[in-house]
Chain A
Amino acid sequence: MQAIFLAIIGLSLIFIGYRFYSKFIAEKIYQLDPNFETPAHSMRDDVDYVPTNRVVLWGHHFTAVAGAAPIIGPAIAVIWGWLPAFLWVTIGTMFFAGVHDFGAVWASVRNRAKSVGSLTGDVVSPRARNLFMVVVFFLLMMVNAVFGVAISTEFQATPSSVIPAWTAVVVAIGIGILIYRMHIPILWPTVAGTIILYAVIYLGELVPISLADGTLGLPAGAQWIIILFVYAGIASLLPVWLLLQPRDYINGIQLFVGLGLLYGAVMIANPPVVAPAINPNVPASAPPIIPLLFVTIACGAISGFHGLVGSGTTSKQLNKETDARFVGYLGSVGEGALALVAIIAATAGFASLGEWEEMYSEFGNGGVGAFVSGGATIVSRGVGISYEFAATLLTVMAVLFAGTTMDAGVRLQRYIIQEWGSIYNIPVLQNGYVATLAAVTSCLILAFGAGGPSGEGGMLIWPLFGTTNQLLAGLTLLVISVMLVKLGRPARYTLIPMIFITGMALAAALLQLSTLYAAGRWALLGIDVVIVLLAILTGLEATSAFMRERKASTAGANA
């Protein structure tokens, strides 16, 4: 099997999903109306609510949802062979993620651009709203911890990426100041910033940076994790215009450049897929494929996080209701394309099956490392740059995606803690610095609690993160389904994915209870117990919401 076929078949499938299935959903199920006045018009304030060009809106929706997760998940999950990951990413994007992301935008637009969280309170129950908030907090804590561990691992594996990755922070601050304070038009800072960013990759190769083990009595990995969280804590307190906004923008550019580069290189180099379609020699440490595949690949197949973005900024800026299909469904198509190229890199970028099996000798060994080494081999052969340069470039790309998620994640955790402080009347938690400290500490406890003093085993959090993400997706699909039932339309197109994904999440959480107990991972076991409870509560909320709606519709029919 040549990689080019995987790329073409995969891209064609998800595009067919967009062309036909999303059209059907748009016309028959969500019944989009081009004349419906969207919140961007009806509540226009030129601050939050602004009608925006759909291509631009798609661009920032896509770049907001696509990050390191659709790279890491698929690059871990190919341990079971390329076929299961390939099928879940393509089918997941077509029938799960597309409908979910598109639905979240639609549901929010139809409800004065409210977020899925507050819609859960309105449509399902106030209890479900609290449940939603707890799930989001856990999700953020896990994503921050796991990305901290992933970046630390990458800094140690590719020391040449350290300087370029930190330079990106300086470049972002520079762009922020030039645009916001000096009012310089965006084009030149963009061009200069991009040139500096890629030029520093050479510098990184000349001056690789490794931390010495033993400083403060800590291994290098642990030092990096602490540095990263100190950084994330400070970065999350800085004004949005100074760091987060330009950093996000740089990442957007990197995403498009990276995708173009990887797909271009696959088309030119056309390497053979060395990994087996279904791996007959799965290492003993790997958990069973069902249900773990469906939580290991969350982003790239379906991810609850997208609903937060879709119903957060995107729905407030949608110009026409019919644009929801282009922005929401095509946004998940973009993410599916990124996950697909991660699968190709992690299965076709190795010289032989033996080399691939060595990389995948243990569950969780793949991830960014496999993506970088496989992707760099393909890019260096396809585009003709050196392997080292390509590896640094891809590492920097993945590190920047993960780093920005950490900045934003710690910031969101702080908001939630501050909100809890105000709900439960605890003034100290309302203080920004205290809330940030609490957020960062919770992530550090998780990262070290899971990974031990060196943070090495921290990637064990990954399946738990995926499980929580899928629970969130289940809650969003529940909101959409209840809305459809209320409107008297068929709900099976969102209900079946909801039942499937919540069921898989619950099964995965239950299965991990015994594995974590056997391994003596107590911190993770505690979190898993909470996840199991959350999954059961989600199921109960769903059942009670549907019973209520059914009763209401029967009563309506009898009357």
Chain B
Amino acid sequence: MPRGPRHAAERESGAGGLLVAGAVAAVVLVLGVSGTLGAWTSAIIGNDTNTVATAKAVILAETDGSTTCRSSDQTSNTATCTTINKYGGTTTTLLPGASRTVDVTFTNIGSANGSTFALAPGTCTQSPVAGSGTPAATNLCTAGELTVAVSCSPGATYSAGTAWSDLAYAAAAPPTATRTHTATGSELNAAAQWTCRFTVALSAGAVIASQNITVSQPLTWTLGV
């Protein structure tokens, strides 16, 4: 059937609608991107899309009582924290038989409830390198003379009596395995707090070659909905 002027007008009308829709979408795209970045830096949400996302966010804050690190410090919601040393640092050194304890408290400062909380130990390194020097430096990352114990419990202070069993490391060489706690009840809900205790110790039986060694290990915490 031949097409008349009406059909041509309809085609033009349909194409015009599509152009409008595309333009609106482009604007939404611009607003969406701008709004996302704005939310990470000033917490001002400028469009419906981001408002929806914020409502489902989990944000992890960690503090040792004097310094606080937040996941939201980075746009990826995974921040690198260099100010909280859970192994106690190197200013005060460990003699055989000595130990030190560091508590860090986590808070879900997002508005979504979390359901899992995981600790993934990174690679343990030491200086001087194991086997170097005279006598050959002990490998404190594996020897078991330097031990790390981790235990977490609900609340703003650590309580051994309510410690989680699924995210716990008994005293042993610096950990390697990832451990995950699955929330019971509201443990990881928005605004919930929980505290992890690190106990770093040097065995009384540490050998002479374990003197003057610095051990370092990154730790990654992940809170998931």
Q: Do A and B bind each other?
A: no
